Amino acid sequence: MGRFLSSKVSELNNNNFDNFMADKPNIPKCILFTNKAGNPLIFRALSLTFDKRIDFGLVRSTDTGITAKYRVNSYPKIMVIGVGDKKVPQFYEGENTYNKIFLFINPFAETFFRVGEDKTRPNETTKADKPWLSEVSIVIFIMLFCVVCYVFIVVFNLCYNVFILIETT
Protein backbone atom coordinates (compact mmCIF):
# COMPACT_ATOMS: atom_id res chain seq x y z
CA MET A 1 0.00 0.00 0.00
CA GLY A 2 2.82 2.43 0.86
CA ARG A 3 4.42 2.11 -2.57
CA PHE A 4 1.39 3.88 -4.09
CA LEU A 5 1.81 6.93 -1.83
CA SER A 6 3.54 9.70 -3.76
CA SER A 7 6.31 11.70 -2.19
CA LYS A 8 7.17 15.38 -1.97
CA VAL A 9 10.55 14.60 -0.37
CA SER A 10 13.71 15.81 -2.10
CA GLU A 11 16.76 13.55 -1.99
CA LEU A 12 19.56 15.81 -0.74
CA ASN A 13 23.31 15.47 -1.06
CA ASN A 14 26.38 17.70 -0.83
CA ASN A 15 25.73 19.06 -4.34
CA ASN A 16 22.12 20.24 -3.96
CA PHE A 17 21.76 20.87 -0.20
CA ASP A 18 22.62 24.60 -0.33
CA ASN A 19 20.18 25.17 -3.22
CA PHE A 20 17.44 23.35 -1.28
CA MET A 21 18.02 25.55 1.77
CA ALA A 22 18.15 28.79 -0.26
CA ASP A 23 15.14 27.95 -2.45
CA LYS A 24 11.85 29.39 -1.15
CA PRO A 25 13.26 31.23 1.89
CA ASN A 26 9.76 31.88 3.24
CA ILE A 27 9.01 28.13 3.64
CA PRO A 28 10.36 26.07 6.56
CA LYS A 29 12.53 23.02 5.85
CA CYS A 30 12.16 19.57 7.43
CA ILE A 31 15.07 17.20 6.91
CA LEU A 32 15.29 13.51 7.75
CA PHE A 33 18.79 12.16 8.36
CA THR A 34 18.79 8.41 7.79
CA ASN A 35 21.16 5.49 7.34
CA LYS A 36 18.60 3.29 5.57
CA ALA A 37 17.69 2.91 1.92
CA GLY A 38 14.38 4.23 0.64
CA ASN A 39 12.04 6.91 1.82
CA PRO A 40 10.06 6.06 5.00
CA LEU A 41 6.27 5.91 4.65
CA ILE A 42 5.74 8.25 7.62
CA PHE A 43 7.98 10.89 6.08
CA ARG A 44 6.25 10.60 2.69
CA ALA A 45 2.85 11.00 4.38
CA LEU A 46 4.06 14.05 6.30
CA SER A 47 5.41 15.60 3.09
CA LEU A 48 1.96 15.29 1.53
CA THR A 49 0.21 16.62 4.63
CA PHE A 50 2.39 19.74 4.74
CA ASP A 51 2.63 20.15 0.96
CA LYS A 52 3.49 23.76 -0.03
CA ARG A 53 3.79 24.75 3.64
CA ILE A 54 7.03 22.91 4.50
CA ASP A 55 9.74 21.59 2.16
CA PHE A 56 10.91 18.07 2.99
CA GLY A 57 14.37 16.69 2.34
CA LEU A 58 16.15 13.39 2.97
CA VAL A 59 19.88 13.20 3.77
CA ARG A 60 21.72 9.88 3.80
CA SER A 61 24.37 9.10 6.42
CA THR A 62 26.91 8.82 3.59
CA ASP A 63 26.72 12.60 3.03
CA THR A 64 29.17 13.33 5.81
CA GLY A 65 29.50 17.03 4.97
CA ILE A 66 25.85 17.71 5.81
CA THR A 67 25.69 15.36 8.80
CA ALA A 68 28.85 16.91 10.27
CA LYS A 69 27.50 20.44 9.77
CA TYR A 70 24.46 19.65 11.94
CA ARG A 71 26.33 17.23 14.25
CA VAL A 72 24.11 14.25 13.48
CA ASN A 73 25.58 11.08 15.02
CA SER A 74 22.54 8.83 15.44
CA TYR A 75 19.89 7.87 12.93
CA PRO A 76 17.07 8.46 12.14
CA LYS A 77 17.02 12.14 13.11
CA ILE A 78 14.48 14.76 12.05
CA MET A 79 15.48 18.42 11.91
CA VAL A 80 13.22 21.40 11.21
CA ILE A 81 14.46 24.86 10.28
CA GLY A 82 11.79 27.54 10.44
CA VAL A 83 11.63 31.03 8.99
CA GLY A 84 11.90 34.42 10.65
CA ASP A 85 12.49 34.08 14.38
CA LYS A 86 12.48 30.26 14.17
CA LYS A 87 15.57 29.99 11.91
CA VAL A 88 17.52 27.90 14.45
CA PRO A 89 17.55 24.15 13.62
CA GLN A 90 15.43 22.08 16.02
CA PHE A 91 15.71 18.31 16.31
CA TYR A 92 12.84 15.96 17.07
CA GLU A 93 13.57 13.72 20.07
CA GLY A 94 10.38 11.68 20.47
CA GLU A 95 8.81 8.46 19.24
CA ASN A 96 8.87 7.88 15.50
CA THR A 97 5.09 7.85 15.02
CA TYR A 98 3.13 9.95 12.57
CA ASN A 99 1.06 11.78 15.21
CA LYS A 100 4.01 12.71 17.43
CA ILE A 101 6.13 13.92 14.52
CA PHE A 102 3.12 15.80 13.11
CA LEU A 103 2.66 17.63 16.43
CA PHE A 104 6.35 18.59 16.41
CA ILE A 105 6.33 19.88 12.82
CA ASN A 106 2.90 21.56 12.78
CA PRO A 107 3.87 24.82 14.58
CA PHE A 108 6.45 25.50 11.86
CA ALA A 109 3.77 25.37 9.17
CA GLU A 110 2.40 28.83 9.89
CA THR A 111 0.05 29.92 7.18
CA PHE A 112 -0.90 33.42 8.30
CA PHE A 113 1.24 36.42 9.15
CA ARG A 114 0.41 39.31 11.41
CA VAL A 115 -0.37 42.56 9.60
CA GLY A 116 2.84 44.29 8.58
CA GLU A 117 5.02 41.28 9.37
CA ASP A 118 7.48 40.30 6.66
CA LYS A 119 9.22 36.96 7.12
CA THR A 120 11.60 37.45 4.20
CA ARG A 121 12.75 40.13 1.85
CA PRO A 122 10.70 40.24 -1.34
CA ASN A 123 12.43 38.52 -4.22
CA GLU A 124 11.49 36.59 -7.33
CA THR A 125 10.83 33.40 -5.35
CA THR A 126 8.28 34.93 -2.99
CA LYS A 127 6.57 36.75 -5.85
CA ALA A 128 6.23 33.45 -7.68
CA ASP A 129 4.64 31.94 -4.58
CA LYS A 130 2.17 34.84 -4.35
CA PRO A 131 1.07 35.68 -7.89
CA TRP A 132 -1.61 38.09 -6.70
CA LEU A 133 1.18 40.49 -5.64
CA SER A 134 2.27 40.99 -9.24
CA GLU A 135 -1.03 40.64 -11.09
CA VAL A 136 -3.06 43.74 -11.84
CA SER A 137 -5.99 41.93 -13.43
CA ILE A 138 -8.28 42.39 -10.42
CA VAL A 139 -7.53 46.11 -10.24
CA ILE A 140 -8.23 46.50 -13.96
CA PHE A 141 -11.46 44.52 -13.60
CA ILE A 142 -12.65 46.77 -10.75
CA MET A 143 -11.75 49.90 -12.68
CA LEU A 144 -13.59 48.67 -15.77
CA PHE A 145 -16.60 47.79 -13.66
CA CYS A 146 -16.66 51.32 -12.23
CA VAL A 147 -16.38 52.84 -15.70
CA VAL A 148 -19.23 50.69 -17.00
CA CYS A 149 -21.39 51.67 -14.02
CA TYR A 150 -20.58 55.34 -14.56
CA VAL A 151 -21.45 55.11 -18.27
CA PHE A 152 -24.69 53.32 -17.40
CA ILE A 153 -25.66 56.09 -14.96
CA VAL A 154 -24.83 58.82 -17.51
CA VAL A 155 -26.82 57.09 -20.26
CA PHE A 156 -29.73 56.48 -17.88
CA ASN A 157 -29.77 60.17 -16.84
CA LEU A 158 -29.62 61.24 -20.47
CA CYS A 159 -32.51 58.96 -21.44
CA TYR A 160 -34.52 60.11 -18.41
CA ASN A 161 -33.99 63.79 -19.29
CA VAL A 162 -34.97 63.14 -22.92
CA PHE A 163 -38.08 61.30 -21.75
CA ILE A 164 -39.06 64.18 -19.45
CA LEU A 165 -38.43 66.68 -22.25
CA ILE A 166 -40.62 64.73 -24.70
CA GLU A 167 -43.38 64.30 -22.14
CA THR A 168 -43.52 68.01 -21.31
CA THR A 169 -43.83 69.10 -24.92
- This prediction's pTM: 0.61
How many helices (H) and strands (E) are present in the chain, helices listed first?
6, 5
pLDDT digits (tens, 9 = 90+) for 36-58: 888 888 888 888 888 888 899 99
CA 99, CA 102: separation in Å to the nearest integer? 5
Low-confidence winner among 20-29, 59-68, 135-144, 150-159 (lowest mean pLDDT): 135-144
pLDDT of 21 reads 87
pLDDT digits (tens, 9 = 90+) for 84-117: 766 788 898 988 888 888 888 888 886 554 444 4
What is the 3-state composition of the chain as percent helix, strand, coil, each rounded to the nearest 5? Answer: 45, 15, 40
pLDDT of 22 reads 85
Question: 52, 43 in Cβ contact below 8 A?
Answer: no
pLDDT of 59 reads 92
Q: Is the pLDDT of residue 127 over 70?
A: no
